[in-house]
Structure formats: C-alpha cells, structure tokens
Amino acid sequence: MIREVNFDGIVGPSHNYAGLSLGNLASTRNAGEVSSPRAAALQGLDKMRANLALGLVQGLFVPPPRPNDAWLARLGTTIGEAQPMLTANAMSASTMWAANAATVSPAPDCADGKCHLTVANLRTMPHRTHEWPYTLAQLRIAFADSSFAVHDPVPTAFGDEGAANHMRFAPAHGQPGVEVFVYGLSGGAFPARQHLEASRAIARLHRLDPARTLFAEQSPDAIAAGAFHNDVVAVANERVLFAHEQAFADKERFYGELAKCLPDIEIVEVPAGEVPIGDAIRSYLFNSQLVTLPDGTMTLVAPTECRETPSVAAWIERHLASNGAIRRVEFVDVRQSMANGGGPACLRLRVACDPETVDPRFLVDAAKLDLLADVISRAWPEEIAIADLQSPELVAAVRAARAALLDALDLGELLSG
C-alpha cells in the first residue's frame, strides 16, 4: 500500500528576488531582478503534470500568509512602515521549496509503525525562521490520520532544514530502509545550516533503529562552493545514491557504512573531472528528482539547465548510453525557481505512505491542476519588482490570490494560518 508521494510547494503570489539566502549563489546572483510569480507558479504546476504523466502520485502544499503580519507585529512594525529588509523577509515565498518543510521517516523504518514527520525550524535565515508554524498547520491537516506522527520543530538552538539534508535507501519504498542524515560543520564564508544535534534529535523522535541510521558530514568545500543543502550535491532513491565526487567530507567511510547496512547499494558518483562542482551547482544536476516509475524504471526529473550545461549534458548522455542505474531523464522548466536557487527536488517533499491515508485536498489529479492553473492565471501578479514589495496594491493582490487558492482547494481553515 505504500507509495512515494511528492508534495510540491505551490509558488506563492509574492515570489520575488530579494537575494535573502546567504550561500545560495543563484539567489545572490539574481538579487534585485524582476520576478514573475504567475509564470513561476504555472511552471510548478507543469512539473506536477509531468510527474502525473509518468505515473507518480502527486501532492501539494499551499503558500502561507504574505506578508507575515504577525511576524512584523512581533518586531513592532507593519508592512507599510517596515524597513526594506524586514519587508523582504515578511514577503518571502520560500515555502515553495517543500524539501525544507520537514524530515520524513516512513512507517517501515519507525519502531511504532507510524510515518513520522518533523517540521523544520529553518533557524539560519531570518526569512525562513517564521515559516514553520504555517507549515506545521498544513502537516497536521494533511497527515491527520492515525498512521502518521507529526512533530513540532527541534529547539532552534540546533538548525534543521528538513529533507534537503536527509536521504533514505531501501529495496523499495514500502520496505524497511536505511536513513542518512547529512550535517555540516563548516562552509567557509557560508553557514553550515544542518546541525548534527538536530539530526540526532529527529532520529530519536522518529524512533529509528540506530543500526540502520547513519550520520554523514557534508563536504565543507561543497558548502563553500554553494551547496547550501546536501540535495544540491546528492540525491537518493531506493538502492541508488547519485552524488558528486565532492559531496561528502569522508566519502569512503560513509560509502563503507552504507554498504554494510544495504549490501546491494548502487553508488553513481559523478567525478569532478567530468562535471566540476561549479557546473553541478549551477545546473542543479543533483537537485533533480530521482524517482522510480511504476514499471521500475529509475528516472531523473532534471531542470532544463542540465541540458544547457555542456559538461552535465555530456555526462548524462554517457550514463544513459552505459545502461547505468538511471535509465531515463525527463527535463522540466522551473527557471523562475532556479533563479532563486531551487531546482525540481527543492520544490517537493517526499512522503512514502499509503495515499489513501492523506487528506485528499492535498493530492492532485489533472482536473485539479487545471482548476489551480485557472486561479493562478487570474489572481497571481505577473511581475514583482523589489521596490514594489510595500505597495498597498501588491499587498492586497497577494492576499487576495492566496484566499482564492484556498477557496479553490476547500482549505479555508488555513486562511489565517
């Protein structure tokens, strides 16, 4: 009954390029550019359509209230009076990257037989610190069934950025697996966002078997190069680890521990000599969705930037010709998200569960995507310039757009939170 469901974050109507994420090179590079929220959200829906066409189960999460008036009130200000940087933080649409929503451990891995989810505290970046209460509210609705256990965030003394730093390996999604938590210690000029103690706490909360739980350090060089999350340089699916040569601090030890836990593990490592880490990060080769289709075909859902980066395109062609673990590559256009530092994998949270136990309002089919596309085409702003973030007209439009989306999904209980 267990299948992998990919829950994509709908790109919010306040999507903008404020350059708030230190260490995220794309976010910094495009700071101040004019964004296209409507096009961004429609690109996200098209990615969901493509996944449905592949035979995958697809879900969604909705954007939180923007601006975050409650957060601004705690700072003693309002959207009309706040300084520009506070305004940008309050209008952030970064919940679109659902890989940071939570860490998920499927039921076969947990001692109590429940699927556990711990919402991420996202304490490192100010614009993300105020996301978790709204994310938690959605998780508690979507996964209200008794087969799930939804946890509050770990204390903010320890930074946790969710599934972007977590991998799971198993013979199949419904079988017991090996869970890997990737943490950072140093990133040179950039912060290491995932703390080891946060990862250990989540493993305990999820009641994981210590013998099948691993902790691996992310390479400081990778963080310094712009891999602010592990999923920028590594992704896992069932028995396959797809990673850059420079992803881990002590890869030989990690690979050895992984092989002991899962002897039939298949490691697809991309050498730096073939794809420099800068090309890997710029193209987001590893921030692709690595999925298993209903016919068993291992498929990479990659951003179109991979096709346009010569070293990456050449590696993909060689791997497909070799009949390696990845047998198929599908390219998707998520350029608006990519320009802010999030590829196809950033946009989704993987939950291995029985889809029948999920609140159906959070699952989509083609008809629902058509409905959402109509709402977005009518209500989402076409463009947002940073100078306009405090505009009363824009603020009103953003609020009205979210309300229209929640009405279309019959999720009115989320209107104020």
How far is it, in rounded angstroms, from Cα 343 to Cα 235?
12
Task: Please enumerate in sequence order all residues whose Cβ is within 8 A of that of 85, keeping only pairs 6 or more positions apart, or say none.
Answer: none
Task: Give me the residue label for tokens 């692709």.
Answer: 288
Task: Please enumerate in sequence order all residues whose Cβ is within 8 A of that of 309, keeping only pairs 6 or more positions apart, or say none.
Answer: 279, 282, 283, 285
Three-state DSSP at 135 gives helix
DSSP letter, residue 173: T
Quote the tokens at residue 243: 């990673």
CA-closest candidate to residue 16, choices 41, 29, 33: 33
As separate numbers, helices (DSSP H) first and strands (DSSP E) second, the chain gives: 15, 15
CA-closest candidate to residue 173, choices 254, 261, 239: 239
Q: What is the DSSP string of 269-333?
A: EE-TTTS-HHHHHHHTSTTSEEEE-TTS-EEEEEEHHHHHSHHHHHHHHHHHHTT-S--EEEEE-
DSSP letter, residue 155: P
Q: What is the DSSP string of 216-237?
A: EEBPHHHHHHT--SGGGTEEEE
Task: Give me the residue label for tokens 């390219």.
Answer: 331
CA-closest candidate to residue 56, choices 359, 283, 327, 330: 330
User: Catalytic residue numbers?
Assistant: 161, 229, 346
Pairing of strands 234-237, 266-270: unpaired
How far is it, in rounded angstroms, from Cα 37 to Cα 43?
10
Radius of gyration of the chain (CA): 20
Three-state DSSP at 415 gives coil
Q: What is the DSSP string of 47-74?
A: HHHHHHHTT-EEEEE----SS-HHHHHH
CB count in 10 Å sphere of residue 386: 19
Quote the tokens at residue 371: 């409905």
